[in-house]
Amino acid sequence: MVTLPETNFKFPNQVDFYRGKVRDVYIFDDKLVMIASDRISAFDVILPQAIPYKGQVLNQLSAYFLAKTASLVPNWVIGQPDPNATVGYKCSPQPIEMVIRGYLAGSAWRAYQTGQRDFNGQLLPEGLQENDKLPEPIITPSTKAPKGQHDEDISTDEILKQKLVSPEDYEKMAHYTRILFAKGQEIAEAKGLILADTKYEFGTWKGDIYLIDEIHTPDSARYFDKEGFEERQKKGERQPHRSKEMVRQWLIENNFMGKEGEQIPVMSEEWINAVSQEYIALYETLTGQSFQKPKPEGRLPQMEAQIKAFLEQN
């Protein structure tokens, strides 16, 4: 299986480079080139094995949704010169992530199980089950932790108290978060899916708030199958995960949650292929497009040449 674990390019006029959990970021005076690798992280830990075609799915699915929402919220994208690469404005990132939840799943469900009912000032009722639809979508922001540390939930009040974001910027980010989520849910529903929760990142470009990074990908969002969802909930059955949550659940079942002293389990080739196929299937379901796998021969030189040509023209 062909994977893209990392890139090591040097572009003309490049001023810096940053390797994140998933993306390799090439920095210029006024632009960024983000290359989505096939690395996968969970519980803020980069797993040792990459997932074939995962980066391409993330980049192309994000491009699809960014184009669909560009009339609603300004975003950072200039163009996509390669299936794995996006070039965009060098926005100054806001220090928080805007997480929005329409269903009680993932970390919110785990917190609910321990007795938490107050989620950023919104009280959830007693008696909810995992994956139940919430009375209304709730925003539960998180901090952007330094490398090697975990992101942490933070309330709106605490964000404003610490002056992490101005009240005006936060209000705009919250507004953008709600309309993006509504649009994402609308698109997903038309494709037979439920967008359960997701996160958005924002930055500032020339004094305005812009949507940055990726949106509505299986790494940043959670999807369920709409067909049979209510029946499964009534029976208390597990909902199939159409997102990276399938990897998180597998890790939990194999006694790993990113805590000190825990050993990362080894993924079998069969499981890696299953995850890859699920990412590709989600892309095809949401976009209605057939996923085109690039030829492995000369993949990196081709990618580098296409990005260089795009930068010269833009």
| Residue 107: C-alpha distances to residues 119, 172, 176, 309 (Å) | 12, 25, 23, 42
Q: What is the mean pLDDT of each run of 10 residues along the chain (314 residues)?
A: 91 96 96 97 92 97 98 98 98 97 95 97 96 97 71 92 97 98 98 97 97 96 96 94 90 93 94 96 97 93 97 96
Tell whether 278 is covered by a domain.
no
Number of structural domains (the chain) is 1
Residue 212 lies in a domain: yes
Q: Give the pLDDT of residue 1.
A: 61
Say what the pLDDT of residue 38 is: 97
Give the residue numbers spanning the domain of 223: 92-247
Please, what sign has the CA dihedral across residues 125, 130, 135, 136?
positive
User: Looking at this protein, which amino acid is placed at residue 36?
Assistant: A
Q: What is the CATH number of the domain that holds 175?
A: 3.30.470.20
Residue at 288 is within a domain: no
- Provide the pLDDT for residue 151: 73
141-165 burial, b for 16+ CB within 10 Å, e for fewer? bbbeeeeeeebebbebeebeeeebb
**What's the pLDDT score for residue 154?**
95
> Given this model, what pLDDT does residue 150 score?
59
267 assigned to some structural domain: no
Query: Does some domain include residue 155?
Result: yes
Report yes or no on 273 lying in a domain: no
Q: What is the 3-state secondary structure (H, E, C) of the chain?
A: CCCCCCCCCCCCCCCEEEECCCEEEEECCCEEEEEECCCCEECCEECCCCCCCHHHHHHHHHHHHHHHHCCCCCECEEEEEECCEEEEECCEEEEEEEEEEEECCHHHHHHHHCCCCEECCEECCCCCCCCCEEEEEEECCEECCCCCCCCCECCHHHHHHCCCCCHHHHHHHHHHHHHHHHHHHHHHHHCCEEEEEEEEEEEEECCEEEEECCCCCCCCEEEEECCCHHHHHHHCCCCCCCCCHHHHHHHHHCCCCCCCCCCCCCCCHHHHHHHHHHHHHHHHHHHCCCCCCCCCCCHHHHHHHHHHHHHHHC
Question: What is the pLDDT at residue 144?
Answer: 80
186 lies in some domain: yes
